[in-house]
């Protein structure tokens, strides 16, 4: 939420063409009673793209799935992993792991009205759920509704006592259970999520499961995505260097600003582009200090890049 908006996804697409991108979680109420265009608009370059839905009413989810298919999304994903209080109060997110039959019915209702894949993102359990058998049973029951792809965050969600941020860090990772799911359900696509920091770890997990999902690592250290296409898909990487990415972003930014947008809406997602690189801290500071100003334009991004270039030149001279 508030991370993978269309600007973030456009940025990531400069780094990888093959990875599947996911929208922020959109609630069924927001789609059925709110601004559909605001939630469902995206650029054609974002494919393959999945719409992530939050909800627990089968009929409402089916209606939203039809909207997603009409907008040419490549997948509809039902969120059964978000642990926030607001989500629990709406009876969706991670609390749905206590109601596998309801999740099955939600998936079945969506599958009945769309041809695109309907998938589920979940945890390995919640609060009182302590056994692998409960996780296995949840997946088995939901699969009866027609779900063939399960994206499993390898941590439990503690719905009482921990904040959403703490729920991404404190519950211990249990990759073995996700591996075991693949062994139990070889005909299903099992995707592992949670705690993955780099492509070396991705490659290791892919010997045990069908896919991997990156979250915070992709956001905080986005340049790691620049070799995903070659290392994980055997394809050509789209971005030869970071300067190329910035040049492509400036084209996008100028169009967005001309439509009335603000620079920081885009640049807030790229602060980690030069993570652990010479001048990376100056790059972040220049963007953070200048991009939020009312009249900020692409020159702020160029100035941030210049800080990096100057730092690299100084280090080269010293050497």
Active site residues: 82
* String of DSSP letters for 218-280: HHHSGGGGGGHHHHHHSS--S-SSHHHHHHHHHHHHHHHHHTT--HHHHHTT-TTTTTTSTTH
In angstroms, how far is the first alpha carbon of the chain from the final one? Answer: 44
Q: Which two tokens stand for residue 204?
A: 């290791």
The answer to whether residues 230 and 239 touch, using CB atoms and an 8 Å cutoff, is no
Cβ–Cβ under 8 Å, residues 73 and 6? no
d(CA 154, CA 51) in angstroms, rounded, equals: 22
Q: Of 211, 182, 194, whose CA–CA distance to 156 is shortest?
A: 194
For residues 195 and 1, give the distance between their C-alpha atoms in angstroms, rounded to a whole number. 18
Give CA–CA dist 287/283, Å, rounded. 6
What 3-state class would DSSP assign to 121? strand
Cβ pair 173, 213 in contact under 8 A: no
CA distance 250 to 191: 34
Q: How many degrees, rounded to 5, is the angle at CA 21 between CA 33 and CA 96? A: 55
Q: Phi and psi (nearest 5°) for 27?
A: -75, 155
């Amino acid at each position: 939420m508030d991370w993978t908006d269309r600007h973030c996804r456009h940025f990531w697409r400069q780094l990888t063409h093959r990875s599947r991108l996911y929208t922020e979680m959109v609630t069924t109420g927001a789609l059925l009673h709110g601004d559909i265009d605001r939630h469902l608009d995206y650029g054609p370059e974002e494919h393959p793209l999945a719409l992530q839905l939050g909800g627990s009413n089968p009929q409402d989810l089916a209606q939203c799935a039809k909207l997603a298919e009409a907008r040419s999304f490549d997948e509809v994903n039902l969120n059964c992993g978000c642990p926030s209080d607001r989500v629990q109060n709406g009876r969706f997110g991670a609390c749905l792991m206590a109601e596998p039959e309801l999740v099955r019915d939600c998936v079945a209702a969506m599958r009945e009205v769309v041809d695109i894949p309907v998938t589920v993102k979940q945890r390995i359990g919640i609060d009182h759920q302590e056994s692998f058998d409960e996780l296995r049973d949840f997946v088995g029951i939901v699969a009866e509704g027609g779900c063939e792809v399960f994206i499993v965050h390898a941590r439990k969600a503690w719905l009482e006592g921990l904040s959403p941020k703490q729920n991404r860090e404190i519950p211990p990772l249990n990759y073995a259970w996700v591996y075991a799911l693949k062994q139990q359900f070889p005909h299903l696509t099992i995707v592992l999520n949670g705690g993955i920091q780099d492509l070396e770890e991705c490659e290791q997990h892919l010997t045990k499961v069908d896919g991997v999902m990156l979250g915070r690592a992709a956001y905080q250290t986005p340049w790691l995505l620049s070799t995903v296409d070659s290392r994980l898909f055997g394809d050509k990487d789209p971005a030869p260097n970071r300067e190329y990415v910035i040049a492509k972003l400036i084209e996008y930014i100028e169009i967005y600003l001309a439509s009335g947008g603000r620079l920081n809406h885009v640049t807030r997602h790229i602060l980690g582009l030069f993570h652990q690189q010479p001048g990376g801290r100056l790059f972040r500071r220049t963007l953070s200090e200048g991009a939020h100003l009312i009249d900020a334009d692409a020159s702020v991004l160029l100035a941030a890049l210049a800080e990096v270039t100057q730092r690299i030149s100084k280090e080269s001279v010293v050497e």
